[in-house]
Structure formats: structure tokens, C-alpha cells
Amino acid sequence: MDIFDIVKDKFKDISDKGTGAPYYWHLIRCAIRLGSNATKKEILVALLHDILEDTDTVEEDLRKLNIPEDVIKSIKLCSNIYYKDITHKEWMRVINVSNDVMGIKAKAVDLSDNFSVERLKGLVIYLSENEKPKISKKLKKEDQIFKRVKRFINKRSYGLSVRFFEDLEIISKSNENILKDLNLSSFGSYE
């Protein structure tokens, strides 16, 4: 079984909240964002950066798959389950000063993909589903509902994009050389 089979298997029942596509597509896009100079270990970290956080996989499972210890260490750096006792921004600062090149790159491409226009639009629509019933109770006309939902989505989108941008900015400080070859821009357009 190769790494792509492992990723597909571990994430087979998880859909991307942003796009509805299989979640492992996000992981593959993260690996692609590393660029053509990425090492095998960097690609492993990008492909597996969510495995401890979003599946029932534990560190020992990764060892049984012969994943190198330094790769496991980088995956742990990218997994919020190890940083529950600090704020999100403090976790980003930990990544920034870690000197863990593989972990820094993986988190940067992860944030970049989370920040991508296509994924963010879909995620905001997904998150707003809970708001639609509240909105429709308050407003009668369909066009008013649409306008209200659109304002909500734009507001939520702005907040999410600011957070992802700020996270990427924290990680980038003093790591510009590490990140220079990564594709951190959106694969799509803003239209």
C-alpha cells in the first residue's frame, strides 16, 4: 500500500466542508503547493498533516507504516490536538519559531489551501446553512432572504480569510526563505 492509498483510506469517509469533495483532495493540493523542489518527507508531512487530528490514527499507527520520526514530529506540530492548552495564535507562533522546516511548510500550504477562494466560498456556504432557517423565519420575501444570506456569507468569508491570512503572516515571519518556493496563491479566480 503506498502513501496515496493510505491517505485515501484514512480519509475515505470525510468530505471537505468547503467543497463537498473528498477531503483527501485538500491534502493532495497541499502537497502540490510545495512545488517541484519538495522532498519526499515534506510531501509526506503535507499529505498527512491532518491524519492525527481528523482520523482515528495515532502516532504508533504512523510508526507501523514506517513513517520516519522526524516526519511524525512535523505532523504533530501541524496538529491542533497537541496545542489545546494555548490559543490558536500562540500555536501559530510555536510553529513559526519551531525551526521545523517540514512542519512550517506543511502548515503554510495548509493555510494557503484553506484560504483559497474556491474552498473558502464553499466553507462559508456550509457554515451558513445553520443560519438560513433563522433568516427565513424573520423575512418573508425570497429576494430579502437572499440578500441577508449573501451579507452573512460575505461577513463570515471576510472573517475567515482574515484569520487564515493572519495565521500565514505569523508563520511567515523570519521564515521567508523557507516559504519562497511554495505556491501560496489561489488556484482559482476571485470571480
Give whole-number Cα distances, 148 to 17, 123, 143, in Å.
Answer: 22, 17, 9
pTM of the model: 0.77
Q: What are the residues whose beta carbons fall under 8 Å from the beta carbon of 41, sequence distance 6 or more?
A: 68, 70, 71, 74, 102
pLDDT of 190 > 90? The answer is no
- Please write the tens of the pLDDT for every residue from 106-121: 999 998 888 776 666 5
- Please write the tens of the pLDDT for every residue from 9-59: 999 999 887 677 889 999 999 999 999 899 999 999 999 999 999 999 999
Q: What are the residues whose beta carbons fall under 8 Å from the beta carbon of 68, sequence distance 6 or more?
A: 41, 44
- Please write the tens of the pLDDT for every residue from 70-91: 999 999 999 999 999 999 999 9
pLDDT of 129 > 90? The answer is no
